[in-house]
A and B are shown apart, each in its own frame.
Chain A
């Protein structure tokens, strides 16, 4: 077995607090070496956004985040003129037109910001499937050419190529065109060992036995029919809550335990779907 090129990246990510599996590390490695955008899909709460944060930390790069939403348009994502200041400038010292449309009055939004950095940043385009199709199409040009045209200023070409990470939750189907331009990785809920490692790195200091119980319960809950399956963030919240309450063993204090379930179960239906008996059974198994 030759050492994989992504091993080093994996180790660095782990040092930054992110436990990645081999395929994901390979995806990130290729995104870095090939300079292609990386599209991450998967259920909510598996840490897709965290990947970008960890990667920015590893590369010691700035993280520029664009949160997508319905109705997101160019003026929120790319640039906008600062009309108020332009008006003020006209009133105050009768500024001429050339100076009005200059860098001074340009409000850089995340995409323009990302391509004008001296050091290549990590650009996180979060939940791209929430944005409209028009915006997705607009993004295609920026992602392949890395240049933005501002009518009054001309074309701004990227000084450095940002490392682009896109995330999607499956709110709607993304276009084939976007998928084709991106590398792709599907991020699923972690397996037991990975989740233990995540808890060990990110969570509060816990006894090994309690950590095993926590991960066991969360993994068992994910197999139940829940509307909103608990993600990694929920698991970490729960671990923090348990350690805050001083619970050392899940089998001991059932009443307190039931109260802490608000960290894991986020809808009324799910709370009904996970009655105390179910919890008893799960804990009985993992204890």
Chain B
């Protein structure tokens, strides 16, 4: 995280507060002009010269959700105390990357930051000075960047399209499950005569309340967890296109990448520009192509995301070859935890398409009892063939 001198031209509190709100906005909080005036009003309610009080009051007012709640203190320090100066060196690596960033990114990050003059001004500094941003601005990275690989080099247009198409068909096959039973609803195609009659008794036999019934939609939700470790590199192109297809076809789908750590990539994948999405991914996928710890990654998923991401109507898709540096027990335990919350776990294994492959790797053997299906996925054709398998699940 990186910050910033005050704008020399700042005049008084209102100006600085505008800058602060803009600074928060750049770091992903959705705030409007109304919030700026609210913030000034709030400061009148507390002792504005006491930083603790000001911090608490502004936090309560400006933060909209749990993620913002965690980040706010750092953002506050960065803006009001120029704390970016004293922050750890890891930031400088990021700044270097920014300067080395391909042209493609500039447009994307500029759009993300929401500032018109945003990127043009980000003069990358050097050494200690690198922590300093531009006038009153802060550039924060959401993730550290240790190692990167540009996934775009792995993507050619044609196979990407094919993988996305396969994923879309698959998503549709899973999703479209309409119930045959009807249940009561406020709006519905059918009148629920039994309930109308029953309710009319209380109204002296007049059918005043018209109850309705409808066929509830019971879409299955897809959560995809994709292994991007070294052993999976050759498949990464296809698999990433595949999960992008899944996410595109279904607004509720959720996607994660893992190697030794787990990362939620759904927002990046939602980017309509596929190449740009790949670019965003490669920035996020630090350590891409490194080792794998499937058990720990899945446990991290169960800890941080499972409560929200999983329900009894969720199909969890794991894309991995099952080569794991963690213990098989940890993997089995993590899968068992996910299994309890989700409807099904499907493991797509590129190695399974090979003739003569048997899941003898300890990790895979430990995982098998927790899987509903263990299916091959080594080619795009294999992915496309999954549709019928999923329709059966």
Q: Which A positions have Cβ atoms within 8 angstroms of B? A: 1-2, 4-6, 22-23, 26-27, 29-30, 33-34, 41-42, 71, 73, 83-84, 87, 91, 170-172, 176, 179-180, 183-186, 225, 227, 269
Contacts and interface: CB of A to CB of B under 8 A. Distances in A.
Given A4-B52, A176-B64, 16 more contacts: A4-B47, A23-B56, A30-B45, A30-B61, A34-B42, A83-B208, A84-B202, A170-B307, A172-B308, A180-B35, A183-B60, A184-B65, A185-B69, A186-B70, A227-B340, A269-B336
Contact of A2 (B45, B50, B204, B337): B50
Contacts of B253: none
A41 B66 contact: yes
A269 B340 contact: yes
Given A4-B46, A5-B45, A22 B52 contact: yes
B337 A184 contact: no
B53 interface: yes
Nearest to A28: B60
Contacts of B49: 2
A128 to B, nearest CB: 13
Nearest to A90: B204
B57 interface: yes
B264 interface: no
B47 A5 contact: yes
Contacts of B340: 227, 269
15 contacts: A2-B49, A4-B46, A4-B53, A22-B52, A23-B59, A26-B53, A30-B57, A34-B41, A84-B202, A87-B204, A176-B30, A183-B60, A184-B63, A186-B63, A269-B337
A41 B64 CA distance: 10
B47 A184 contact: no
Contact of A23 (B46, B50, B60): B60
A39 to B, nearest CB: 9
Contacts of A5: 45-47, 53
Contacts of B69: 184-186
A172 B47 CA distance: 36
A83 B60 CA distance: 44
Interface in B194-218: 202-204, 208
Nearest to B199: A83
Which 9 residue pairs spanning A and B have beta carbons closest together? A26-B56, A186-B69, A179-B64, A27-B60, A2-B47, A23-B56, A87-B204, A183-B60, A184-B63
A186 B66 contact: yes
Contacts of B63: 184, 186
